[in-house]
Amino acid sequence: MKQWWDDLNGVYSTVLQNAVMRIKQNIDSLGQLKKQGYDVGELQWKAPRDFRSFTYNKKGFELDKKSGPSGRGELTLKKIAGTNITVPIRLHRDLPDNDSIKQLTVKQEPTGAWYVSFTIETEEREKPSPDTINSDDCVGIDLGINTFIHDSDGREITRLDLSDNRERLEGEQRSLSRKQHASNNWSEQRQTVAEVHAMMANKKRDFKHKLAHFYTTAYDAVFLEDLNVTGLMEGDGSARNMAEVGWRDLITVFKHHGKKNGCHVETVDPNDTTKQCAKCGCSVKKPLWVREHSCPTCGFEADRDLNAAANVLKRGLEQLGVVHSEATPAETALPAGTTPVPAKRVLEAGSPCLTERAATPRVSRQG
């Protein structure tokens, strides 16, 4: 291609290779969707201004971490517009000296900010064998909207409140709609809208990573509901709230931290976790507005979400193959109450604010 397009000679070879690979991967993805019966059409032209990232593989760049104060460095990128450039960067975390950088991606966000992502090869922490895991070191998590997380140990974590940011976003979007498209004022206002979006996304991402870090370092196994988010959003209910809480993204973040911290993160079948009694297993139908579980068969009473979390824990133990007694913890003992943890406290203080487990005593029940 360089023989008939001279401009390509000013771009580093691995960058060009990754651009071609990206097109091939997109074509392969469309082919897989077409095999599944989707009407995929064909790849659409992407304007150069919408192409915001490029990737180096193993070479074509140099990182100098010794230049300047701690947490700062200089990055040299080869063949940018035909020449080598050196830019100062701020390192968000230390890069291990003994690990080689396998890949580097440079990306410009819609806000105008530039980021560099380093891909390094590290050894994953070994996960404990299910035969050696104590069931007390496992936790089941029920996912919700108002109560974002309710676990089987009695913690209740509220949903992140972004109402103020949403109001500002709506105002900025109204202002954008009144600007002439592609004008200077429109471009400045578009960037303002992008900054509000980025701020909200960063808050949600930070919130999820702090939760995932706590649970995957405090437990040997974490079990979550394998929710069909797309199906839930297509049904009756508040699709906007479901999309905003980001359950599927939360599960992905948990699995990432599980690999990093040596913790088993498993998803279980979510069907009837709310209806099924955690003590006797009988199905108890209840509308959404009923927040207490009361079993007419065995008389067991508990918070609706706590009962669901206990069922998630029970299914997770069986799925992972954790060795335990005939009566699982979900059947023999449940917290008598819950420990509310505001989402704001998680954001401000970080995950250490969750270290206290449910302070209420456990009530023993016969299976």
Q: Taking 80 as the threshold, does the pLDDT of residue 234 lie above it?
A: no
Contacts of 93 (CB under 8 A, 6+ apart): none
Average pLDDT in the chain: 84
Amino acid letter, 275: K
pLDDT of 358 reads 44
The residue written with tokens 């994953």 in the block is 124
- For the chain, where are the E strands, in sequence order? 53-57, 61-64, 72-80, 83-90, 101-108, 114-120, 138-143, 147-151, 155-158, 221-225, 264-268, 292-294, 301-303, 333-335, 339-341, 362-364
Last residue of a domain, one of 68, 86, 120: 120
Q: How sure is the predictor about 364, in pLDDT bands with cuts at 50, 70 and 90?
A: very low
**Are the CB atoms for 63 and 86 separated by under 8 Å?**
no
Residue among 88, 40, 42, 41 nearest 67 (CA): 88
pLDDT of 137 reads 93
Within a domain: 343: yes
DSSP 73-126: EEEEEEEETTEEEEEEEE-SSPPPTTS-EEEEEEEE-TTS-EEEEEEE--PPPP
Helix (H) or strand (E) holding 16: helix 13-35
- Same domain membership, residue 195 and residue 229: yes
- Same domain membership, residue 140 and residue 95: no
Within a domain: 340: yes
- Give long-range contacts, CB 8 A cutoff, 24+ apart: 2-6: none
Instruction: Write the CA distances from 32 to 25, 27, 41, integer angstroms.
Output: 11, 9, 12
Within a domain: 220: yes
pLDDT of 49 reads 76
pLDDT of 344 reads 75
- Same domain membership, residue 161 and residue 55: no
Q: Taking 70 as the threshold, does the pLDDT of residue 363 lie above it?
A: no
Last residue of a domain, one of 120, 145, 169: 120
pLDDT of 118 reads 92
Within a domain: 1: no
The residue written with tokens 């071609």 in the block is 20
Alpha carbon distance 204, 199 (integer Å): 9
Amino acid letter, 145: I
Paired sense of beta strands 221-225 and 138-143, if any: parallel
Last residue of a domain, one of 95, 120, 145: 120
- Same domain membership, residue 284 and residue 160: yes
Q: How sure is the predictor about 44, in pLDDT bands with cuts at 50, 70 and 90?
A: confident
Residue 109's Cα: distance from chain center in Å?
Answer: 19
Alpha carbon distance 191, 111 (integer Å): 5
Domain count across the chain: 2
**Are the CB atoms for 150 and 178 separated by under 8 Å?**
no
Domain span at residue 98 reads: 6-120
Amino acid letter, 39: D
**Which has the higher per-residue pLDDT, 314 or 335?**
314
Amino acid letter, 264: H
**Are the CB atoms for 55 and 104 separated by under 8 Å?**
yes
**Which has the higher per-residue pLDDT, 94 or 350?**
94
Residue among 140, 149, 144, 128 nearest 319 (CA): 140
End-to-end Cα spacing for the chain: 71
132-159 average pLDDT score: 90
- Same domain membership, residue 335 and residue 206: yes
Within a domain: 46: yes
- Same domain membership, residue 156 and residue 110: no
pLDDT of 324 reads 58
Query: What are the tens digits of pLDDT across the range 259-317?
Result: 999 999 999 999 988 888 888 888 888 877 777 878 888 878 888 888 899 999 999 99
Contacts of 264 (CB under 8 A, 6+ apart): 127, 128, 130, 133, 220, 221, 222, 258, 320
- Same domain membership, residue 261 and residue 182: yes
Q: How sure is the predictor about 178, in pLDDT bands with cuts at 50, 70 and 90?
A: very high
204-218 average pLDDT score: 94
- Same domain membership, residue 144 and residue 113: no
Within a domain: 80: yes
- Same domain membership, residue 317 and residue 273: yes
**Are the CB atoms for 128 and 262 separated by under 8 Å?**
yes
- Same domain membership, residue 44 and residue 190: no
Within a domain: 168: yes
pLDDT of 362 reads 37
- Same domain membership, residue 154 and residue 271: yes
- Same domain membership, residue 184 and residue 302: yes
Q: How sure is the predictor about 196, in pLDDT bands with cuts at 50, 70 and 90?
A: very high
Exposed/middle/buried for residue 46 (C-beta within 10 Å: 0-12, 13-18, 19+) = exposed
Within a domain: 256: yes
Alpha carbon distance 61, 79 (integer Å): 10
9-27 average pLDDT score: 91
Question: Which of the listed ranges 91-105, 257-271, 312-326 does the model predict with the highest average pLDDT?
Answer: 257-271
User: pLDDT exceeding 90 applies to what percent of the chain?
Assistant: 45
